[in-house]
Amino acid sequence: MKLRKLALRTRIFVAMILLVLFASMLISAVAIYQYKEQNEDYHKGRLERKEGSIQTHLKRFLNGKQNTWEIKTENIPLIFKEEVYNIADIHKLQINLYDLDGGLLISSKAGLQNTNAKKCLAANIMNAISNKIEFNSASETAEHRYVDITIENGETFQSSYTYIADKRSKPIAILNIPYLEKDNFLTKELLEFLERIGFAFILILLTAIVFAFLLSKYITKSLKTISDKMYTTRLEKRNEKIQIDGTSQEISSLVNSYNSMIDELEDSVVQLAKSEREQAWREMAKQVAHEIKNPLTPMRLTVQNFQRKFNPNDDNIYAKVDEYSKTIIQQIDTMSAIASAFSNFAKMPAQQNETLNIVQIVKLALDIFNEDYIVFTSNAESIIAKLDRTQLIRVVTNLVKNGIQAIPDYKTPQIIVNVSEHQDNVIISIADNGSGIVKENKEKIYEPKFTTKTSGMGLGLGMVKNIIETYKGSISFVSEQNRGTTFKVTLPKGL
Indicate whether 32 and 99 sit together in one domain: yes
**With 70 as the cut, is the pLDDT of residue 364 above it?**
yes
Question: Which of 294, 368, 295 lies closest to 328, judged by CA?
Answer: 368
Judge whether residue 458 has pLDDT over 70: no
Which range scores top for mean pLDDT: 111-125, 217-231, 476-490? 476-490
Q: Is residue 197 part of a domain?
A: no
Mean pLDDT value across residues 233-256? 63
Distance CA 239, CA 19 (A): 41
What percent of the chain shows pLDDT beyond 90? Answer: 12
Query: In terms of Cα–Cα distance, which of 176, 169, 172 is closest to 101?
Result: 172
The alpha carbon of 246 is separated from its chain's Cα centroid by a whole number of angstroms, namely 20
Give CA–CA dist 410/412, Å, rounded. 7
- pLDDT tens digits for 166-182? 888 888 899 998 888 77
How far apart (Å, rounded) are the C-alpha atoms in residues 111 and 471?
123
What is the mean predicted confidence (pLDDT) over 46-50?
Answer: 84
Confidence at 214, pLDDT banded by 50, 70, 90: confident
The last residue of one of the domains, among 187, 210, 242, is 187
CA distance 382 to 376: 14
Same-domain check for residues 402 and 473: yes
Task: Specify the pLDDT at position 415.
Answer: 94
47/145 same-domain check: yes
13 pLDDT exceeds 80?
no
Number of domains in the chain: 4
> Same structural domain for residues 15 and 110?
yes
Mean pLDDT confidence for 99-103: 88
Does a structural domain hold residue 308?
yes
For residues 28 and 156, membership in a common domain is answered with: yes
Q: What is the pLDDT of residue 485?
A: 92
The predicted structure's pLDDT at residue 291: 52
Among 66-75, 140-149, 211-220, 240-249, name the one with the lowest average pLDDT: 240-249
pLDDT tops 60 at residue 112: no
pLDDT band for 449, please (50, 70, 90 cuts). Answer: very low
Give the pLDDT confidence score for residue 456 in this predicted structure.
36
Q: Are residues 142 and 262 in the same domain?
A: no
Whether the per-residue pLDDT at 490 is higher than 90: the answer is yes
| Minimum mean pLDDT range among 32-46, 362-376, 407-421 | 32-46
CATH of residue 116? 3.30.450.20
Domain annotation covers residue 132: yes
| Cβ atoms < 10 Å from Cβ of 99 | 17
Domain-located, residue 450 = yes
Q: Is residue 224 situated within a structural domain?
A: no
Residues 448 and 411 in one domain: yes
Query: What does the pLDDT look like over 179-200, one tens digit per residue?
Result: 887 766 667 777 787 788 788 8
| Average pLDDT rounded to a whole number, residues 270-278 | 70
Domain CATH number, residue 386: 3.30.565.10
Residues 339 and 352 in one domain: no
Identify whether residues 54 and 134 lie together within a single domain.
Answer: yes
The pLDDT of residue 450? 42
Q: Cα separation of 192 and 195, whole Å?
A: 5
- 416, pLDDT greater than 90: yes
474 touches 466 (CB < 8 A): no
- Domain interval for residue 328: 295-343
Does 156 have pLDDT greater than 70?
A: yes
Q: Are residues 18 and 122 in the same domain?
A: yes
Mean pLDDT of 53-73: 85
Pair 237, 256 in one domain: yes
Tell whether 42 is covered by a domain: yes
Q: What is the mean pLDDT of residues 451-473?
A: 66
User: Taking 80 as the threshold, does the pLDDT of residue 447 lie above it?
Assistant: no
Q: Is 366 a member of any domain?
A: yes
Residue 217 lies in a domain: no
Q: Residues 33, 110: one domain?
A: yes
The 3-state secondary structure of the chain reads CCHHHCCHHHHHHHHHHHHHHHHHHHHHHHHHHHHHHHHHHHHHHHHHHHHHHHHHHHHHHHCCCCCCCCCCHHHHHHHCCCHHHHHHHHHCCCCEEECCCCEEEEECCCCHHHCCCCCECCHHHHHHHHHCEEEECCCCEEEEEEEEEEEECCEEEEEEEEEEECCCCCEEEEEEEEEECCCHHHHHHHHHHHHHHHHHHHHHHHHHHHHHHHHHHHHHHHHHHHHHHHHCCCCCCCCCCCCCCCCCHHHHHHHHHHHHHHHHHHHHHHHHHHHHHHHHHHHHHHHHHHHHHCCHHHHHHHHHHHHHHCCCCCCCHHHHHHHHHHHHHHHHHHHHHHHHHHHCHHHCCCCCCEEEEHHHHHHHHHCCCCCCCEEEEECCCCCEEEECHHHHHHHHHHHHHHHHHCCCCCCCCCEEEEEEEECCEEEEEEEECCCCCCHHHHHHCCCCCCCCCCCCCCCHHHHHHHHHHHCCCEEEEEEECCCEEEEEEEEECCC
Q: 437 with 477: CB under 8 angstroms? A: yes
Q: What is the pLDDT of residue 116?
A: 42
Long-range contacts of the stretch 94-97 (C-beta < 8 A, 24+): 94/177, 94/178, 95/54, 95/175, 95/176, 95/177, 96/175, 96/176, 96/177, 96/178, 97/164, 97/173, 97/174, 97/175, 97/176
Query: Is 1's pLDDT higher than 50?
Result: no
pLDDT recorded at residue 457: 35
Please check the confidence at residue 140 and state whether its pLDDT lies above 70: no
Q: How much is the mean pLDDT over the chain?
A: 77
Q: Name the residue with higher pLDDT: 297 or 258.
A: 258
pLDDT, residue 452, reads: 46
Segment 362-372 mean pLDDT: 86
- The pLDDT, as a whole number, for residue 437 is 85
